[in-house]
């Protein structure tokens, strides 16, 4: 735990951390059972909502399908960590001088990129996607 390997001096380390909470340690101090129930329930509800949104919006923009898949994939990745480890494993550690971003993982990156792609689809919808029947 907390072991760190410098990959790019002054920019990037691989660091082993566990996060029992959500973003930036939110709820990390809550009792374990309630925290786990809360985060697993939120993840499952969010996945259900994303499936419903996908069905309703997939033809509106070519961005929505990939965006929702990235968000759902990230949510599933973090859910698997929570179920197996009781915490999310974060290991990507970026910094620049004294500026340091909290460590995160690939699932967090997928969620962030997915939200970005979704927003691009909202502001620049592009052509409507036709479903092949």
Residue span of the structural domain in which 85 resides: 4-123
Q: Active site includes 108? A: yes
Residue 89 resides in a domain = yes
- pLDDT recorded at residue 122: 86
Q: Is the pTM value of this prediction over 0.75?
A: yes
- pLDDT recorded at residue 19: 83
Among candidate residues 39, 70, 90, 107, the one labeled active-site is 90
Structure tokens of 23? 């973003």
Given the structure tokens 């735990």, which residue do they identify? 1
How far out from the chain centre does Cα 24 lie? Answer: 13
Mean of the pLDDT values across residues 31-37? 74
Residue 133 resides in a domain = no
Q: Active site includes 93? A: no
Report residue 130: phi and psi, to 5°: -95, 130
Among candidate residues 108, 114, 117, 118, the one labeled active-site is 108
Q: Count up the domains in the chain and report the number.
A: 1
- pLDDT recorded at residue 24: 56
User: What is the Cα–Cα distance from 122 to 53, expressed in whole angstroms?
Assistant: 13
Given a cut of 60, is residue 4 above it in pLDDT?
yes
Strand positions, DSSP E, the chain? 4-8, 12-19, 88-96, 99-100
Q: Is 93 left (phi over 0), alpha (psi -120 to 50) or beta?
A: beta
Residue 113 resides in a domain = yes
Give 41-92 pLDDT, tens digit per residue.
Answer: 989 999 999 999 888 887 788 888 899 999 999 999 999 998 998 889 999 9
């Amino acid at each position: 735990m907390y072991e760190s390997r410098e990959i790019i001096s002054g920019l990037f380390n691989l660091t082993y951390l566990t996060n029992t909470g959500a973003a930036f340690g939110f709820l990390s101090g809550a009792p374990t059972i309630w925290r786990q129930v809360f985060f697993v329930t939120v993840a499952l509800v969010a996945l259900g909502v994303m499936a419903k949104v996908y069905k309703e919006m997939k033809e509106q923009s070519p961005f929505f399908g990939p965006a929702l898949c990235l968000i759902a994939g990230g949510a599933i990745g973090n859910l698997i960590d929570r179920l197996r480890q009781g915490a999310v494993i974060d290991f990507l550690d970026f910094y620049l001088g004294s500026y340091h971003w909290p460590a995160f993982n690939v699932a967090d990156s997928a969620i962030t990129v997915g939200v970005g792609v979704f927003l691009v689809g909202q502001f620049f919808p592009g052509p409507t996607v036709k479903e092949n029947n």
